[in-house]
Amino acid sequence: MKTTITVNGESRALDVDPRTTLLDALRETLHLTGTKKGCDHGQCGACTVLVNGTRINSCLSLAVMHDGDAVTTIEGVGTVEKLAPIQQAFLTEDAFQCGYCTPGQICSALGMLQEVADNWPSQETEDLMGSIRLTDDELRERMSGNICRCSAYPQIVAAIRAVSGRPA
Amino acid sequence: MRPFTFERATSTQAAVKSAAEIPNSKFIAGGTNLLDLMKLEIEHPAHLIDVGRLPLAGIEDTSEGGLRIGAMATNSHVAAHAQVRSRYPVLTQAIVAGGSGQLRNKATTGGNLMQRTRCVYFYDSTKPCNKRQPGSGCGALEGLNRNSAIFGASHACIATHPSDMAIALAALDAKVETLSPSGQVRSFAATELHRLPGETPDIETHLIPGELITAVVLPPPPKGGQVYRKVRDRASYAAGLASVAIAGGNVALGCVAHKPWRAEKAEAALASGSSSAEAIAAELSEASNNGRNRFKIDLIARLVPVAIAQANGSQI
């Protein structure tokens, strides 16, 4: 089925079996293998990408549902030559061991920081009418959809903390 | 995943017409639950109708002083909406208690209501499940039934409905609006959407084939406090073991039945002056259990008075 998706700023015309998930279209069809497949059931967050600026699990969405959407993957966040601040922060804070969950952690963190900037509440938000203050409890709760098997959580929190409050 | 054909709905009317005409078709909006189940081949529709782009995502005031939430409004947008936060905080609290940020960004209001049970026997296609395969039996009756129902269950099924959002909607006396293939618009209480399992747990709602949820309508909030409390095995991103939504004198329980459970006996007792402990005891007098889920009775007995006290602004 014909589907056009703007991926990292570039319009890509696809013709895919309707069963193809957005994740598989990115990895197998467009060869953007930075986005990882972990559980393939929305439980681990490794496949997190930004769709029109919002973070989602790309494994739980069909490519054909994204005709006309703009998708940002880790390849669109920064490059080896020019790391995004959050990528540098993950290096500086040693926020990974094996690195498999890292692209999803970074895309999720970017989406999460925008949600905080938009004052979206979480279950840690006590005053629903106030301005969100990104405490560590808030940060951890908002990142709970991203699992790190190496358990680098303290460093991941530190890396996100390092870029929070300024443009990532 | 089994093969299927895919259609991008061009209008709400066209969507319900297709759904009525094409055998074994299903609507897809966010897809977070349906695609998970399709990968496991628990769901295997022949045709998917993508309703996610239909103009049903608006959230607007009603002339009655309530709020109309379009079926395609995402869970995240509903939870963050200023009117929901200020006037229906129990709904915001319930939504953010469910799933993860990524899931709530994709999941829709209509899809949340239509999500299916997390009963382990429903998910395990090597085990009997009357909901997945009618007539095969219920593995949970004498099996891993820790998260099974304590109200309204049958010998055919003791599964629970997993939605947090729906529990808040039940407490808020929300209505569901639908469009059927004949063009008929229906509006009915959200608590009337889901069925108890009876002999046919595979039939989960009172919707007719092809009928599409188009909106959820909240009446003005009831007088009194609101709160949603959820108990689960870990602090975040886990299905509940028990939950309760309080909205004024309304009490709805989650994770305890095949549908959101309005605790009407408890409400009547509260209205007649009983203590919250006495009120929930009245409700629990008709609870049943299958062994491993027995703890839910004690859990609800303790959870509900705490929630009521919190809703009333008391110290807890």
pLDDT tens sequence across B37-46:
999 999 999 9
Q: From residue A75, how far is each of B119, B155, B257 by CA, in Å?
A: 38, 53, 45
Whether A149 has a pLDDT exceeding 60, the answer reads yes
User: 10 Å Cβ neighbour count for B295?
Assistant: 13
User: 10 Å Cβ neighbour count for B199?
Assistant: 12
Measure the CA–CA gap between B302 and B220, rounded to whole angstroms.
29
For chain A, how many residues are written?
Answer: 168
**Tens of pLDDT along B145-194?**
999 999 999 999 999 999 999 999 999 999 999 999 999 999 999 999 99
In the block, which residue shows the tokens 């979480």? A122
Whether A16 has a pLDDT exceeding 80, the answer reads yes
Structure confidence at residue B314 (pLDDT): 63
Chain A nearest C-alpha distance from B235 (Å): 8
Terminal C-alpha separation, chain A: 36
Average pLDDT over residues B98-126: 98
Beta bridge partners, B160, equal: none
Structure confidence at residue A44 (pLDDT): 98
pLDDT tier, A19 (very low <50, low <70, confident <90, very high otherwise): very high
Backbone conformation region of residue B273, classed left if phi is above 0, alpha if psi is from -120 to 50, else beta = left
Structure confidence at residue A167 (pLDDT): 40
The answer to whether A109 and A71 are in contact (CB under 8 A) is no
pLDDT tier, A166 (very low <50, low <70, confident <90, very high otherwise): very low
Long-range (24+ apart) CB contacts under 8 A made by B233-236 are B235/A141, B235/A144, B236/A123, B236/A140, B236/A141, B236/A144, B236/B100
Which residue, among A62, A115, A148, would best test binding to B if mutated, counting the most B CBs under 10 Å from its CB? A62
Average pLDDT over residues B258-276: 98
Backbone conformation region of residue B28, classed left if phi is above 0, alpha if psi is from -120 to 50, else beta = beta
The answer to whether A26 and A46 are in contact (CB under 8 A) is no
Structure confidence at residue B255 (pLDDT): 98
Beta bridge partners, A55, equal: A50
- Burial of residue B2, with CB atoms counted within 10 A of its CB: 0-12 exposed, 13-18 middle, 19 or more buried: exposed
In the block, which residue shows the tokens 């509440």? A121
Is residue A65 less than 8 Å (CB to CB) from chain B? yes
Structure confidence at residue B181 (pLDDT): 96
pLDDT tier, B244 (very low <50, low <70, confident <90, very high otherwise): very high
Who's near B73: CB < 8 A, 6+ residues apart?
Answer: B56, B57, B58, B59, B108, B109
Structure confidence at residue A168 (pLDDT): 37
**Tens of pLDDT along B40-70?**
999 999 999 999 999 999 999 999 999 999 9
**Tens of pLDDT along A30-53?**
999 999 999 999 999 999 999 999
The per-residue pLDDT of chain B, averaged, comes to: 97
Measure the CA–CA gap between B73 and A98, rounded to whole angstroms.
37
pLDDT tier, B35 (very low <50, low <70, confident <90, very high otherwise): very high
The answer to whether B6 and B46 are in contact (CB under 8 A) is no
User: 10 Å Cβ neighbour count for A4?
Assistant: 12
Measure the CA–CA gap between B182 and B13, rounded to whole angstroms.
9
pTM of the prediction? Answer: 0.97
Who's near A151: CB < 8 A, 6+ residues apart?
Answer: none
Smallest Cβ distance to B101: which of A65, A129, A145?
Answer: A145
Q: In chain A, what residues touch B103 (CB-CB under 8 Å)?
A: 42, 57, 60, 145
Average pLDDT over residues B5-28: 98
The per-residue pLDDT of chain A, averaged, comes to: 96
Q: Phi/psi of residue B259, each to 5°?
A: -150, 165
Measure the CA–CA gap between A62 and A50, rounded to whole angstroms.
14
- Burial of residue B100, with CB atoms counted within 10 A of its CB: 0-12 exposed, 13-18 middle, 19 or more buried: buried
**Token reading at A60:** 């739980």
Name every residue in B having a CB less than 8 A away from some CB of A: 1, 3-6, 8, 28, 30-32, 35-36, 39, 48, 50, 52, 76, 79-80, 85-86, 89, 92-93, 96-97, 99-103, 105-106, 235-237
Give the ranges where chain A is alpha helix by DSSP (H): 22-24, 74-77, 85-92, 102-117, 136-142, 153-163
Whether B315 has a pLDDT exceeding 70, the answer reads no
Measure the CA–CA gap between A141 and A136, rounded to whole angstroms.
8
Q: Phi/psi of residue B284, each to 5°?
A: -75, -10
The answer to whether B151 and B286 are in contact (CB under 8 A) is yes
Which residue, among B4, B10, B28, B35, would best test binding to A if mutated, counting the most A CBs under 10 Å from its CB? B35
pLDDT tier, B316 (very low <50, low <70, confident <90, very high otherwise): very low
